[in-house]
Amino acid sequence: MPLLKFRLEKTGAPLWFRGLIPVITLVLTFILTSGLIIWGKANPFEAYYYFLIDPLSGRVSFLEVLVKSTPLILTGIAVTVAFVSGYFNIGAEGQLYAGALASAYLGTVLGGISTPLAILLMLISSFAAGLLWALLPALLRVYLNVDEVVTTLLFNSIIIFMISAILNGPWRDPQSGWPQSPEIAEVTRLPQLVARSRLHFGFVLALTVVAVVWFIQTKTSFGLKFRAVGLGKEGARFAGINVERTILIAALISGGIAGIAGYVEVAGIQYHLIGELSPGYGYTGIIIATMGGLNALGVGAAALFFGLVETGAQTVSRALGVPVYLGEVTQATMLLVILGMFLLQRYRIRRM
């Protein structure tokens, strides 16, 4: 009996299909994760209620969503800026720590200045620190054609060792003996935005970065040049764009923004530097950037969604006893489903 053969035709998928993609993604993710939820002896529908809906319905949890999104927005945008120009910055994690290091240091030496000034100084220094940490891999790529994926990855590990050495050495907290830096001064902490919540000014900074990057991406010639270089190096070069310089700048800005992510975590949440400051925000940023389609607003939305998932995972865990790691599994599943869909939307399945 002849098998039904299908072939994938490379034309745009019908528009109605493309519009449904977010819905299909969610549904598929739900189906795939419900197996795990059932194993956890819970009802998938109930779980997803606590997962995605409940956190938005309460003041405390809603604000917590925003808190959790803050660093993700920043790393997501950082990665986006680089990826758009074709520079695969896998080092956002390390650049984040560089910014955190700078902030933790400044936080202990800046005293007797106003908070706005402190914010400005620490913002600039964390950006600079992240930029500097991104510099060597960027130079290696642009001038020696050394692939940036592995170099930025290795730099992540190196700075984590550096921080471990610092925290176990000169910066070990003299009072507690734990490997954590001394607390930063009051004035250098990011102000609370809403009373009785952890939401801090860093969230505003994150949104500002989104707005600025969105503006640059969509409304300025810089944004157009960055995109041109990422989408067609030869065409960009022919049109007179300095491709090497553009990639270098994109890489450095990317590092700087990731550095800001480190700043907001130190100055807004932890108030000192610890080795576990980031549970992989830099890597998650890559996933968020992909899901947001490398577009500032989309990435912001994806980051907020991931923040929701992280908060929701805790809610589900408390309510139904399902392990909190459901969050990570859902994020990963959603990414893989979307990756599959990205390509599917470029093809059409035709019966042969």
Partner 1 sequence: MAVAMLIATLTAATLRVATPILLAAIGETFNERAGVLNLGIEGIMFLGAFVGFYVADITGSLWMGLLMAIISGVLLGILMAYFTVSLGVNQHVSGLGITLLASGLALYAFRLNYGGRSTPPSIPPFEQITPLAKIPVFNTILNQYLLTYVTFFIIVPVSWWVMYRTSLGMKIRAVGENPEAADAAGINVFWIRYGVLTFGGGLMAMGGAFLSLAQLGAFTHGIIAGRGWVAIALVIFGNWNPFKVMLGSLIFGGTYALQLRLQAMGLQLPIPYETFLALPYIVTIIALVIAGRQASYPAALLKPYQRE
Partner 2 sequence: MHVVEMRQITKQFGDVIANDRVDFQLRNGEIHALLGENGAGKTSLMRILFGLYHQDSGEIMIDGQLVRIGSPKDAIELGIGMVTQHFALVPPFSVAENVIMGYRESLSLDMKAIEAEVASSARKFGIEIDPSAIVRHLSVGQKQRVEILKALFREVRVLILDEPTAVLIPQEVDTFFRILRNLQEEGISIIFISHKLNEAMAISDRVTVLRDGRVISTIDTSSTNPAELAKMMVGRETFGVTRKGKVVANQPVLEVKNLFANDDSGLQALSNISLVVNAGEILGIAGVGGNGQKELAEALCGIRTPIHGSILVHAQELSGASPSEITATGVGRIPEDRHAGLIGELTVAENLVMEQLGRFTSHSVLNKKLIRKYADDLIDKFQIKARPTDRTRTLSGGNLQKLLLARVLANQPDVIIAPQPTRGLDVGATEYVHKQLLEQRMRGAAVLLISEDLDEIMALSDRIAVMYEGEIVGVLSAQDADIERLGLMMSGVLKENKDAVTQV
Residues that bind partner 1 (CB under 8 A): 36, 39-40, 88, 90, 140, 144-147, 149-151, 153-158, 160-162, 164-165, 168-169, 283-284, 286-287, 290, 323-333, 335-336, 339-340, 342-343
Binding residues among 260-289 for partner 2 as defined by CB under 8 A = none
**Eight-class DSSP state of 183:** P
User: CB of 210 within 8 A of CB of 297?
Assistant: yes
Q: Are 165 and 97 in contact (CB under 8 A)?
A: no
Q: Contact with partner 2 (CB under 8 A): which of 116, 232, 323, 340?
A: 232
Q: Which residue, 197 or 345, is less far from partner 1 as judged by CB?
A: 345
**Residue 263 to residue 273: CA distance in whole angstroms:** 10
Is 248 a residue that touches partner 2 (CB under 8 A)?
no
Minimum distance from CB of 10 to partner 1 (Å)?
10
Using the rule CB under 8 A, is 222 a contact of partner 2? yes
Phi, psi at 348, each rounded to 5°: -130, 135
Interface residue with partner 2 among 153, 241, 324, 336 (CB under 8 A) is: 241
324 binds, among partner 2, partner 1, none (CB under 5 to 8 A by kind): partner 1
Sort 219 into a burial class: Cβ within 10 Å, 0-12 / 13-18 / 19+. exposed
**Residue among 215, 214, 233 at smallest CA distance from 293:** 214
Helix (H) or strand (E) run with residue 350 in it: strand 348-351
Least distance between partner 1 and beta carbon 211 (Å): 26
If the CB atoms of residues 193 and 336 are measured against partner 1, the closer one turns out to be 336
Exposure string for 186-214, b = 16+ CB within 10 A, e = fewer: ebbbbeebeeeebbbbbbebbeebbeebb
Distance CA 179, CA 171 (A): 8
The binder of partner 2 chosen from 227, 277, 287, 331 (CB under 8 A) = 227
DSSP state letter for 180: B
In SS3 terms, 3-72 reads as CCCEEEECCCCCHHHHHHHHHHHHHHHHHHHHHHHHHCCCCHHHHHHHHHHHHHHCHHHHHHHHHHHHHH
In the bound state with partner 1, the residue whose beta carbon lies nearer, of 221 and 276, is 276
Q: How far is the CB of 346 from partner 1 (least distance, A)?
A: 10
Nearer to partner 2, 208 or 242 (CB): 242
Decide: is 347 part of the binding site for partner 2 (CB under 8 A): no
Choosing from 224, 324, 332, 336, the residue that interacts with partner 2 (CB under 8 A) is 224
Among the listed ranges 118-126, 151-159, 218-226, 307-315, the one in contact with partner 2 (CB under 8 A) is 218-226
Q: Which C-beta is closer to partner 1: that of 26 or that of 160?
A: 160
Structure tokens belonging to residue 258: 């990731």
Write out the residues near partner 2 by the rule CB under 8 A. 219-222, 224-225, 227-228, 231-232, 234-242
